[in-house]
Chain A
Amino acid sequence: MDKIRALIVDDSSVMRKIVERSLRQAGVELEKVVEASNGAEALVALQHNVVDLILCDINMPVMDGLEFVRQSATVENAKGVPIVMITTEGSESHVVQALSAGARGYIRKPFTPEQVKEHVVSVLGKKL
């Protein structure tokens, strides 16, 4: 797989680091990692950065992950970029809401690097 550029959105800086570490442990080569602490910051980040993959929490202040997914559809740099939700909200209704809003994958916390790898391979359509 080519090196990828990832946007990681989570209000916890620790969780952003853990997600990045999990990607690396899963064998994903990262060219660039952009971080945002909520959906609004992520929308701004997308105006200045081109990414291949977005990993996004749901429960965040200012703008939550579901709203970010909806609004990102209108952002040029987000068009066609797969969004995978990573969240503690594991209910079926949350999964349905996220996928209906446009997310391509859904990972429940706690998660293993292998689970992250499965989803990345699935949404990017490439083998690691």
Chain B
Amino acid sequence: MSVDRSFVTRSKEENWMPVLELAVEEVFEIMVGCRVKPVAQTEHPPNEEYTAMIGLAGALCGILTLSCNAQTARQIARSMLGGTDNADTEVADALGELCNMIAGNFKNKLAGTDERCMLSVPTVISGGEYSFHSLADGCSVATVLLFEDAPVAVRLQLQS
């Protein structure tokens, strides 16, 4: 499936930040039971001990990531699953599913994108000693939201 040029162009011409933020806010409110609000990244630099990622292929080609610290990841999993402590595998699974739903919700909000964009299965990496490098070198939309006073970073990086 080839990359649709019009969507790459659209990503540069339209302001997709509010769409991405709304997609994140809705998923957190419904699935985590918590309201999150965008904040300035300079005041709340995200800690990326956990990064969940979803690949996008088709009309939109790139990657969507969600990053947070380990304590926040555990709290998100606890809220999603109903207040119990969870194994590390469940924490990763919960974060991956959250990222999956954000990606799906985001593409569903972009007119004409939904039908022609596929999502990969989620991947989650954890630990302090890693660097994230995406080969998607086009437009990037990134936001930081506060979840219980801790920053959660969401980044959409598109291939040009």
A residues with a Cβ closer than 8 A to B are: 11-15, 17-18, 21, 59, 61, 88-93, 108-112
Contact = CB atoms under 8 A, between A and B. Distances in A.
Contacts of B94: 14
A73 B101 CA distance: 29
Contacts, number: 56
| Interface of chain B: mostly helix, strand, loop or mixed | helix
B81 A18 contact: yes
**Which 7 A-B pairs rank lowest in CB-CB distance, beginning with the nearest?**
A88-B104, A110-B30, A14-B93, A91-B114, A90-B108, A91-B115, A14-B94
Interface of B: 26-27, 30-31, 77, 80-82, 90, 93-94, 96-97, 100-101, 103-105, 108, 114-115, 119, 121
Contact of A11 (B77, B81, B104, B121): B121
Contacts of B26: 110
Majority DSSP secondary structure for residues of A touching B: loop
A21 B81 CA distance: 8
9 contacts: A13-B93, A15-B93, A18-B80, A21-B81, A61-B121, A89-B104, A91-B115, A108-B108, A109-B104
A14 B73 CA distance: 14
Contacts of B104: 88-90, 108-109
A41 to B, nearest CB: 16
A62 to B, nearest CB: 12
